[in-house]
């Protein structure tokens, strides 16, 4: 098995519970014409009020408002967060589970923190495909005397706040 496949397998196994938690507040919605539908909730009239007094007398001050839910298309947004890791660190991590956990837990923690600053915390209700997905690792050759790097990429596909 090659280094990239081993890395993919190890990270997918380790971070599956975390990714599940991070994606728990996403209502999976199909993309149509580069948009996701988000519900808008409207009350169609003033809210009705019923007042109950201690003597059990009831005063009715209007009927209940009607709720209307409109599915409104919002522009889709894809965010890719990337980090390049020296190949020598990857090889060390793949040969030592404790080191792997330490390094990759810190990488994920920092990437998720940066992502949260860009698009908001994971625990907000969202519509789209996912808040965060671990993409397959890729290798790229460095220029000059630098070491080759392996890139970790996490993507987000959600509805933006901008209406289409």
Tens digits of residue pLDDT in 96-154: 999 999 999 999 999 999 999 988 888 999 999 999 999 999 998 777 778 899 999 99
Q: What is the pLDDT of residue 56?
A: 65
Angle, helices 87-94 vs 97-119, to 10°: value is 130
For 26, what's the count of Cα atoms within 13 Å in the CB-facing half-sphere?
23
Element (H, E) at 67: strand 67-86
Q: What is the pLDDT of residue 48?
A: 74
| Domain ranges for the chain | 3-34+74-163, 40-71
Q: Whole-model pTM? A: 0.80
Tens digits of residue pLDDT in 39-78: 999 988 777 777 777 766 677 777 778 899 999 999 999 9
Band of residue 37 on the pLDDT scale cut at 50, 70, 90: very high
**Contact by Cβ (8 Å): 22, 122:** yes
């Amino acid at each position: 098995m090659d280094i990239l496949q081993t890395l993919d397998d190890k990270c997918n196994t380790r971070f599956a519970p975390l990714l599940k938690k991070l994606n728990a507040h996403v209502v999976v919605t199909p993309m149509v014409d580069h948009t996701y539908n988000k519900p808008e909730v409207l009350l169609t009239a003033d809210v009705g009020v019923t007042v109950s007094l201690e003597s059990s007398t009831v005063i009715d001050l209007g009927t209940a408002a009607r709720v209307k839910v409109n599915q409104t298309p919002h522009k889709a947004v894809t965010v890719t967060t990337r980090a390049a890791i020296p190949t020598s660190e990857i090889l060390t991590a793949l040969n030592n589970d404790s080191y792997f956990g330490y390094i990759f837990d810190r990488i994920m923690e920092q990437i998720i923190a940066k992502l949260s600053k860009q698009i908001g915390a994971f625990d907000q209700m969202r519509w789209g495909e996912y808040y965060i997905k671990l993409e397959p690792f890729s290798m790229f050759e460095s220029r000059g005397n630098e070491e080759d790097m392996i890139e970790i990429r996490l993507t987000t596909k959600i509805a933006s706040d901008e209406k289409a």
